[in-house]
Amino acid sequence: MTEYLIKNGFVFDPVLGIKGDATDIAIKDGKIVETDAVKNPKVIDASGRTVMAGGVDIHAHVAGPKVNIGRNFRPEDKLFNTRPGRGVERMQGGFSVPTTIRTGYNYARMGYTTVMEAAMPPLYARHTHEEMRDTPIIDQGAYPVFGNNWFVLEYLKNNEIENAAAYIAWLLRVTKGYAVKVVNPGGTEAWGWGLNCENVHDPVPYFDITPAQIIKGLIEANEYLGLPHSMHIHTNNLGNPGNYTTTLDTFKLSEGIRPEGSFGRDQVMHHTHVQFHAYGGDNWGNMDSKAKEIMDYVNSHDNITIDMGAVTLDETTTMTADGPFEHHLTELNHLKWANADVELETAAGIVPYVYSPNIKVCAIQWCIGLELALLAKDPMRIFMTTDHPNAGPFTRYPRIMKWLMSQEAREEQFNAFKHRDKVIEATNLAGIDREIDLYEIAQMTRAGPAKSLGLSEICGGLAPGLAADVVVFDFNPNEPYAPDDIEDAFSNAEHLFKTGVHIINDHDIISNGNKRTLWVNARVNENPQVMRDVKEKFLRYYTVTLNNYEVSGHHYVPNPYVIEVDATE
Amino acid sequence: MTKTVTDVICPFCGTLCDDLEVVVSKDGKNLLEVYNACAIGAEKFLHSQAKDRLTRPRMRQEDGSWKEISYDEAIEYTAKILTEAKKPLMYGWSSTNCEAQGVGSEIGEYVGAVMDNTATVCHGTSLIAVQDIGIPSCTLGEIKNRADRILFWGCNPAHAHPRHMSRYSIFPRGFFTGKGHTGRKMIVVDPRVTDTARIADIHLQIEQGRDYELFDAFRVAFKGEQLPDIVAGIPKERIYEAAETLKSGRFAIIFFGMGVTQSLGKNHNIDAAIAVTRDLNDYTKAAIMPMRGHYNVTGSGQVWGWLFGFPFAVDLSRGFARYNPGETTANDLLRRGEVDAVFVLGSDPGAHFPFSSVKKIYGLPSVAVEPHETPTTEVCKVHVPVAFVGVEVGGCAYRMDNVPIETRKVVDAPEGMMTDEEFLTHVLARVKEIKGI
């Protein structure tokens, strides 16, 4: 492989602790190496430019059945939003739910190289893997959903952590999954009957277990296995005024539990898109921000990480395994609604949504997303996301950077709100003058999520030995700049390397890369009871046979990167 | 000695049964018996064993006779007509695996083809309706485990999806449906007294073409509002009764077929059907599902969804993907004479398209990639026989509820035969060569 030397860029890297000093970065055999380890490198002059590790997205809905429902049922999302193939680039289309090809390219253009698909229904694992296979450049993994899975509900009802763990290990293996995802625990199963679980103590119909038991049990099972990532949750009561108490109740379930395993993470719970879970008030008229209460808790408890779910004020397509929420949303906005319940496992809903700056609630949501990051004491524990495409498309990350880095940009947006004063009254944002710097951005988008995912030995930094995921942005932090310059520069990488392959040269995509699929192979002791239960459920309740369930074959996972976990004792 | 292959997937209809057992000879070359399949499915497997099966491509001669050609010649001809055409139609894609669909889509990109699948004459109207109003749906296992109100509208699973009722919808005993069919109420809406209608608890023998009115009547009846004495040929009392039956269930499902997607009203009927389902969700839990025909028509819509963003009628001729049913649909293009080459794979438009379309295919450079001899192969210039997907080669297929299942290879294809994917991969390579990509 070609060796590269990226010379003299302003490097921001929390792993090395470099805060914008001009530093050389060397690449050899797909990895970062010491600068004297390259003999005859191709030199990239990065002087006057910003250099970072490839971005890591911990939570985005970019591949799988509900994403594709979003694409297919929204032809309007492609209107004036297509791009012909050119050079190595294939045809692209779509804004809030782009085609897989465009997903890969757009992430690459923003300098991202690792992206986690946030919810994979196990029965649809093949579909998710087919889409990830057809997403060029970026490394991807997918989180199978567990929070409404009948096996999990039955094991945890009886507090059988070891059995739950054995089942998780089995399911991760057969679906080629990465982590334990939980969406509206119990509530989505209740949605099978058109019902919901509205807080963590609301029992699940028939199964006689509470969401709190599911959450705590899955944290314990996750730590029993010592998986790379922690349990990753979207808790109950998403998107409702007054829901911050449910969120705090959820956080508290992690108290007293410490991380196990050898992957270097400090958290036992990752709570996703917290913006949607930080609302006060008791109706849409008096809904306000509880970001401060949420961040007070997060700042003082180091076994939790969160991501933002920042609202970007766009027309988008919401999609989640929180089936009852999407039904609630279609009743609110009267736009088209798709629903897809999955036997024994989960559900999903999809509804288009317009976050209008003229609507007070949308503007409050925008404030809350940014407040979470600006109130954070440790940027290594809060990550930039839009819960793509739920709060906005991932292509707006550079715009969120602009808002986080510039109070001027925030004020400009406040002044564009129809209900500016009411919004300011209901939120904290106008009183926050903090401006995040690029080092903190690198923590929130690179080193932090990589550590939370248990990938800090693989990516997220520029230390020798890590994968050579390196991006060069045409941005000089030491020269004066306008807020919009941030958005422009970070939307359009000048150079990108992904595991040592030169992907973007002078802003042009020149390679479709060497995309890998990350999955976790956790080995546990033989567990005859779980295997008997699996056989039984497939025989009686599933509509596919057990032998037709496992994802296997080159055409689903052509380039796997398997993370081995030994949980046998 | 023989061996039995279990958990075999049936590559016939959208029910995609995956519990077949197939007995093959010890050397894996001959397929002897098929168990658990319906009559149609079993025939699909056994037909692959026909002794008079074509195993090599052939080209139509000036005098109307066929001449055997090599796969290389067939690849060359296909690549040539696709690259020379300004706007080729690449149609079918429903009886093949997703891997072939993926390669075919890439060819379509490079040659600027219009890609259309069999939904265009089947559930394309449903896909349009979903774009209007969405679709609350679920997997077939949800029906098996929960549903106690089953409505078949304009479809006849007893004949078209023969194992649907026994595997998923009427007879199985699921987790919350331990009484099987005795715990379920079955409603059929059909102008004919079909074999499905005969076993229904309620059969509403609708006047043909009045589906939209009856859907609307259901919505009125749910709300307890006044109906005229007779709607769509059905006395109002029976409509109120059926509406109450649906509302009183714990989980209601509407299955619908071509009787409502391709009759008067088309996509508007499905709009109304989905609105009925949305309304029902105010009272109980309800879902709706199209009874997809070919075993992987659903998959082609998925593959094009993630590659292009549209489930059928995808026009790539301008360099990017466009979608405008009525303009970019296969029959409209053919009948208006807007395409100048035709490539068919995994479908039989010769049998199912209007005669005016088929005549146009006959007049154009054309290739049919197809294991059988069909009306389509009769009108095409080149016929490329290939291995049967799901019998002689595996690959992914999507069930009518969008669940992807990996089909299985159970026997070898005849010596030297290509699969769809292999043939397309060669065509793709040749197309790239010609185009200098």
- Please give the residue of chain A at the shortest CA–CA distance from B437: A87
Nearest chain A CA: its distance from B180 CA (Å): 12
Residue A481 lies in a domain: no
Is residue A347 predicted with pLDDT exceeding 90?
yes
Q: At what angle do helices B98-111 and B297-307 cross, to 10 degrees?
A: 50
| pLDDT tens-digit readout, A505-553 | 999 999 999 999 999 999 999 999 999 999 999 999 999 999 999 999 8
Mean pLDDT over A111-127 rounds to 98
- Please give the residue of chain B at the shortest CA–CA distance from A339: B136
Average pLDDT, chain B: 97
Contact B320 A92 (CB under 8 A): yes
Residue A498 lies in a domain: no
User: Could you tell me where the DSSP H helices lie in A277-342?
Assistant: 291-299, 323-333
* DSSP assignment letter at B350: H
Taking 70 as the pLDDT cut, the residues of chain B under it are: none
What lies within 8 Å, CB to CB, of B253 at 6+ separation is B138, B143, B147, B149, B150, B151, B169, B286, B287, B288, B289
| pLDDT tens-digit readout, A348-360 | 999 999 999 999 9
Is residue A569 predicted with pLDDT exceeding 80?
no
Residue A508 lies in a domain: no
- Chain B environment of A541 (Cβ under 8 Å): 141, 144-145, 174-175
Mean pLDDT over A277-292 rounds to 97
CB neighbourhood size of A2 (10 A): 13
Query: How many domains does one find in chain A?
Result: 1
- Chain B environment of A347 (Cβ under 8 Å): 138
Contact B9 A548 (CB under 8 A): yes
Beta-bridged to residue A42, according to DSSP, are A4
Give the amino acid at B250.
Answer: R
What is the spatial distance between Cα A475 and Cα A495, in angstroms, rounded to a whole number? 12
Contact B402 A547 (CB under 8 A): no
| pLDDT tens-digit readout, A437-485 | 999 999 999 999 999 999 999 999 999 999 999 999 999 999 999 999 9
Query: Which pLDDT score, from 0 to 100, does residue A554 have?
Result: 87
- Please give the residue of chain A at the shortest CA–CA distance from B126: A73
- Percent of chain B clearing pLDDT 70 (strictly above): 100
Query: Which pLDDT score, from 0 to 100, does residue A96 have?
Result: 98
Q: Please check whether the two domains, B58-119+295-435 and B124-290, share a CATH topology.
A: no
Segments forming the whole domain that contains residue A178: 53-452
* Number of residues that make up chain A: 569
CATH number of domain containing A145 = 3.20.20
Decide which of 3.30.70.20, 2.60.40.10, 3.40.50.740, 3.30.1780.10 is the CATH code for B58-119+295-435. 3.40.50.740
Nearest chain B CA: its distance from A340 CA (Å): 4
Is residue A164 predicted with pLDDT exceeding 80?
yes
**Prior bond of B311 cis (ω within 30°):** no
Contact A338 B134 (CB under 8 A): yes
Query: Which pLDDT score, from 0 to 100, does residue B71 have?
Result: 98
Query: Which pLDDT score, from 0 to 100, does residue B1 have?
Result: 85
- Percent of chain A clearing pLDDT 70 (strictly above): 100
Please choose, from the candidates A299, A437, A473, the residue with its C-alpha nearest in 3D space to the C-alpha of residue A372. Answer: A299
Q: Where exactly are the structural domains of chain B?
A: 2-47, 58-119+295-435, 124-290
Indicate the residue of A65, A77, A542 with minimum beta-carbon distance to B402.
A65
| pLDDT tens-digit readout, A89-105 | 999 999 999 999 999 99
Task: Name the E strands within B309-375.
Answer: 314-315, 322-323, 342-345, 366-369
Residue A545 lies in a domain: no
Judged on CB neighbours under 10 Å (0-12, 13-18, 19+), A324 is buried
What sign for the dihedral angle of Cα B333, B337, B343, B344?
Answer: positive
What is the spatial distance between Cα A391 and Cα A380, in angstroms, rounded to a whole number? 22
Query: Which pLDDT score, from 0 to 100, does residue A543 have?
Result: 98
Nearest chain A CA: its distance from B312 CA (Å): 9
- DSSP codes joined into one string, A448-517: HHHHHTT-TTTSSS-STTSB--EEEES--TTS---HHHHHHHHHS-SEEEETTEEEEETTEE-------E
Tokens of A43: 């030199």
Q: Does domain B124-290 have CATH number 3.10.20.30?
A: no
Residue A401 lies in a domain: yes
| pLDDT tens-digit readout, A15-32 | 999 999 999 999 999 999
Contact B134 A90 (CB under 8 A): no
User: Could you tell me where the DSSP H helices lie in B66-122?
Assistant: 71-84, 98-111
Residue A550 lies in a domain: no
Query: Which pLDDT score, from 0 to 100, does residue A396 have?
Result: 98
Residue A553 lies in a domain: no
| pLDDT tens-digit readout, A175-234 | 999 999 999 999 999 999 999 999 999 999 999 999 999 999 999 999 999 999 999 999
What is the spatial distance between Cα A416 and Cα A562, in angstroms, rounded to a whole number? 48
- Please give the residue of chain A at the shortest CA–CA distance from B251: A193
Nearest chain B CA: its distance from A127 CA (Å): 6
What is the spatial distance between Cα B363 and Cα A336, in angstroms, rounded to a whole number? 43
